[in-house]
Structure 1
Amino acid sequence: MTALPAGLAAFDLTGRTALVTGSSQGIGRTLAAGLAGAGATVVVHGRDAVKARTSADEIAHATGAVMHSVVFDVTDAAAVDAGMAEVERLVGTPDILVNNAGVQRRAPIAEFADEDWDALVQTNLSSVFHLSRRVSAGMIARGSGKIIQIGSVQSQLARPSIAAYSATKGAIVMFTKGLCADLAPHGIQANAIAPGYFATALTKALVADEQFSQWVRGRTPAGRWGDTQDLVGALLFLASGASDFVNGQTLFVDGGMTAVV
C-alpha cells in the first residue's frame, strides 16, 4: 500500500479515539461518522441507549470503524464522572473530545422562562465545562489531546427571541480561549466550530418555512442552508495533527454569513 503524502497523513485519525456528545442523531451523528471514516475509534453518546447503540452500529457498518456507545447526563457533574469512567474503560482517555450536545429555546426576553434559561446554560455551557474538566485531566497526563466545541454563528449575531441561546454560544467562544490558555502548555489544542444555519431534523420546521428559508438563503453568501457534511472537513482538521499549532480559535462554517452585512 502506498504511503500517504505527508500533508494528507496529518489528517489520518487511525489509532485515535474520540467521544462526541449528543451524537446519536443530527449534527453529532454526522461528526461521529466523519471521525470514524477518518480511522478513529468513536464513542457515540446520547440520552437514549437504543438510539445511541443503533447509531454506533450503523456507523460501524458504513465505515468499518470500531464504535461504542454510552449514555449519561452531560448537565450533571457526577453523571459525567460516572459516564467518563465507562468511556475510559472502553477506550481510555479520548484523544478527541467533541462537545456537541446542545438545545435551543426561543421566546421574547421579557417572557423567557427560568427553566428555559437553566436548560440552555446547563446543556450548552455547563456540559462543556464538566466534560472538558474531566477529560483534560487524562489529556494532561498523556501530554496530548484535542477538545472541540460546537458553537454557533449566534455567538456573533443576534436575532429576536434567542438572546439566552446567543449568550451560551458567546460564552463557548471565550471558554475555548480559556482552555487554550490552560491546556496549550500540556500539548492540548482547544478550538470551536461555529455552524451557520444547517438543515437537520431539529430545524425541519424552519427549513419548511419558505419565508424563513428565503431569508437564510438571502443572508448567506453561499445562497443555501448548510448540510451537516459541510462540517466534517473542519472537524477533521481540528481533530487531527494538521491543526497542532491552531489553538483557542473559532472556525465559522457558515457559507459566509458572518463575513457580510
Structure 2
Amino acid sequence: MPGKTILITGSTDGLGRHLAVRLARSGARVLVHGRDRERGAGVRAEILAAGGPEPEVLIADLGSLREVDRLAGEVGAVTDRLDALINNAGVGFGAPDSARELGADGYELRFAVNYLAGVRLVRQLAPLLIAAAPARVVNVASIGQQALDFGDLNFEHGYSGAAAYMRSKLALIMATFDLAEEFGPAGVMVTALHPATYMDTTMVREFGGSPLSTVDEGGDAVVRLITEDVPNGAYFNGRKPARADAQAYDPAARGELRRRTAELISAAVG
C-alpha cells in the first residue's frame, strides 16, 4: 500500500470507514469521501492516529450527478494518479415501509447513488486510473439482486426500498462486466463483490436487520480485490467467485442498460 492513492466513496461510516483506516494504516494515501464534513474530519483524525499518511476529505452528495462530477474534479486536483477506486457508497433498504425517495436529478435514490454515481465516477476518473495502471476498481454490490424492469427503471410502480436496492446492485454488477471489457486493455481491472452478509453497519440496523458478520470480514474481501491476482470482470461472494442474477449475463439487457444509463446521465449533466 505505501505510495498508493485510493478513493473510497462512502468512507465516513461502516465498511467504507473500516477500509479507509485499514488501508491508510497499511501506508496508502486515502481520499475519504462522505456527505458530512464533520464525520469526514473524524475519519481523518482516526487515520492520523493510526499512523497513516495525511488523507484528503472530499464532500459530495452522490444523489446528484453534478456533484459526482465535482467530486471527480476535486480528486483530479489533489492527485495525478489513482491506484484504486472503491465504489462503496450506498443507500440500503431504508426503514420498513419507507416511501420512495428521489435524488437531486429526479432519479430513484438507490438507483442514483448505488449505480449511476459509481458508473459516472469510473468514467470521469478513467484518466487517473489509466495513469496508475495496473489499477483497480472495486464495485461493492450485494448478493441481493433483482432483475431490472426497463419499462419502469425509475421504479414508479410497486415500489419497495428492498427491491430498489437489489435492482441497483444488479445494475452495478452488469456495468462491472462492461467496464472490465472496456478498461481492461488499458490496465484497469474492474470487479464487483458482495462483501459479507448483514455486516454490523448503520445500513443493516436501519431496516431492523440483525448483524450476521463483521466489517472486518467484508474488509478482507474488498482488500483482496485490490491486492491479489483475481480475474478481471468477475463477481465475488465474499472471497469466492460467484454467479450473479441471470440478467447480468444477457448481452441485450446489458446493452439496454448502457443505452438508458447514457440517456439518464446526459439528461442530468448535459
TM-score (norm 1): 0.76
**1:106: Cα distance to partner?**
5.2
Q: What amino acid does structure 2 have at the position aligned with 1:100?
A: N
**1:112: Cα distance to partner?**
6.3
Superposed CA deviations along residues 17-72 of structure 1, whole A, max 9, x for unmatched, are 00101101111101112221222100110011121122122122113333111112
Q: What amino acid does structure 2 have at the position aligned with 1:232?
A: G
Q: What amino acid does structure 2 have at the position aligned with 1:122?
A: A
Aligned residues: 227
| Gapped regions of structure 1 (runs ≥ 5) | 1-12, 214-223
In 1, the alpha carbon distance for the partners of 2:71 and 2:132 equals 20
What fraction of aligned residue pairs are identical, expressed as a percent?
A: 29
Q: Which residue of 2 aligns with 1:120?
A: 110
1:91 aligned to 2:79?
A: yes
**Cα distance change of structure 1 residues 102 and 70 upon mapping to structure 2, 3 Å threshold:** same
Largest Rg, 1 or 2: 1
Q: Which residue of 1 aligns with 2:264?
A: none
**1:93: Cα distance to partner?**
3.0
Superposed CA deviations along residues 176-209 of structure 1, whole A, max 9, x for unmatched, are 1111110110011001121321111332356xx6
**1:85: Cα distance to partner?**
2.1
In 2, the alpha carbon distance for the partners of 1:64 and 1:35 equals 8
In 2, the alpha carbon distance for the partners of 1:56 and 1:15 equals 18
**1:141: Cα distance to partner?**
4.6
Q: What amino acid does structure 2 have at the position aligned with 1:247?
A: N
| Gapped regions of structure 2 (runs ≥ 5) | 148-159, 244-270
The 5-angstrom pairing of residues 229-240 of structure 1 reads 229-240=216-227
Q: Which residue of 1 aligns with 2:44?
A: 56
Q: Which residue of 1 aligns with 2:35?
A: 47
Superposition CA RMSD, Å: 3.0
Moved over 6 A (4+): none
- On the 8 A contact 1:57/1:67 being kept in 2, the answer is no
Q: What amino acid does structure 2 have at the position aligned with 1:239?
A: I
Q: Which residue of 1 aligns with 2:190?
A: 190
Q: Which residue of 2 aligns with 1:252?
A: 237
- On the 8 A contact 2:92/2:161 being kept in 1, the answer is no
Q: Which residue of 2 aligns with 1:70?
A: 58
In 2, the alpha carbon distance for the partners of 1:63 and 1:96 equals 20
In 2, the alpha carbon distance for the partners of 1:45 and 1:91 equals 15
**1:175: Cα distance to partner?**
0.9
Of 11, 14, 17, the residue aligned with 1:29 is: 17
**Cα distance change of structure 1 residues 114 and 21 upon mapping to structure 2, 3 Å threshold:** closer
In 2, the alpha carbon distance for the partners of 1:171 and 1:35 equals 27
Of 215, 219, 223, the residue aligned with 1:228 is: 215
Tell me the SS of whatever aligns to 2:138.
strand
- On the 8 A contact 1:31/1:232 being kept in 2, the answer is yes
In 2, the alpha carbon distance for the partners of 1:20 and 1:194 equals 16
Superposed CA deviations along residues 102-140 of structure 1, whole A, max 9, x for unmatched, are 10245999x963638711111111111111111113323
Q: Which residue of 2 aligns with 1:201?
A: 202
**Cα distance change of structure 1 residues 106 and 69 upon mapping to structure 2, 3 Å threshold:** closer
In 2, the alpha carbon distance for the partners of 1:113 and 1:75 equals 14
1:19 aligned to 2:7?
A: yes
Tell me the SS of whatever aligns to 1:53.
helix
Of 89, 114, 117, the residue aligned with 1:101 is: 89
Q: What amino acid does structure 2 have at the position aligned with 1:84?
A: A
Q: Which residue of 1 aligns with 2:163?
A: 163
1:137 aligned to 2:127?
A: yes
